[in-house]
Structure 1
Amino acid sequence: MEAEDLKRLVTVRMPYGKYQGRLIGDLPGAYLAWFARKGFPPGQLGRLLALSLELDHNGLRGLLDPLR
């Protein structure tokens, strides 16, 4: 994880798929878990999706509220 990744979760939008246009930090946990099973995409997007899943799974989404 890079220092700016938490900020990116509330600024970067999902570029494709069912939730296209939604902020990465707002994606549903079930959708993130689906990506974990199928394989995260390479690069920054995959890293952000994995981080968002970790926050969701551990009940830490509240960490993003001050960054919004």
Structure 2
Amino acid sequence: MSFSDNKKALVELANYKMPFGKYKGEYLIDIPEYYYTWFNQKGFPEGKLGFMMQQMHEIKINGLESIIHTIRKKF
């Protein structure tokens, strides 16, 4: 995966909104960490959304939210 591909993936992650449930329409970055922790224990959805939620879980537990907020503001 190239730098350009990584950049596109991060921009998409920063601007992706939850398509269902309690947080429908919210940016993934704005959803509380406990929600991702619950999915981590129970199982993330299949496909792209599940992959993005797993990435967001890692970002949140490592305290890297500010990076995603910055990307969303710039792109």
Structure 1 length normalisation: TM-score? Answer: 0.87
Q: Equivalent residues in 2 for 1:14-29 (5 A)?
A: 14-29=18-33
Please tell me whether the aligned partners of residues 5 and 48 of structure 1 are also in contact (alpha carbons under 8 angstroms).
no
Higher mean alpha-carbon deviation, 27-36 vs 6-15, is at: 6-15
Alignment gaps of 5+ in structure 2: none
Q: 1 CA distance for matches of 2:31 and 2:69?
A: 14
Following TM superposition, the consecutive aligned residue runs of length 4 or more in structure 1 with deviations greater than 4 angstroms are none
Structure 2 length normalisation: TM-score? Answer: 0.80
**Quick one: structure 1 residues 9 and 26, their matched pair in 2 at CA, closer, same or farther if it must change by over 3 Å?**
farther
Query: What code does the residue aligned with 1:17 have?
Result: G
Q: 2 CA distance for matches of 1:67 and 1:25?
A: 11
Match of 1:37 in 2: 41
Identity of paired residues, percent? Answer: 37
Match of 2:52 in 1: 48
Deviations 1:5-49 (A, max 9, x none): 321222111000111110112111000101111100111100110
Alignment gaps of 5+ in structure 1: none
Is 1:66 the counterpart of 2:70? The answer is: yes
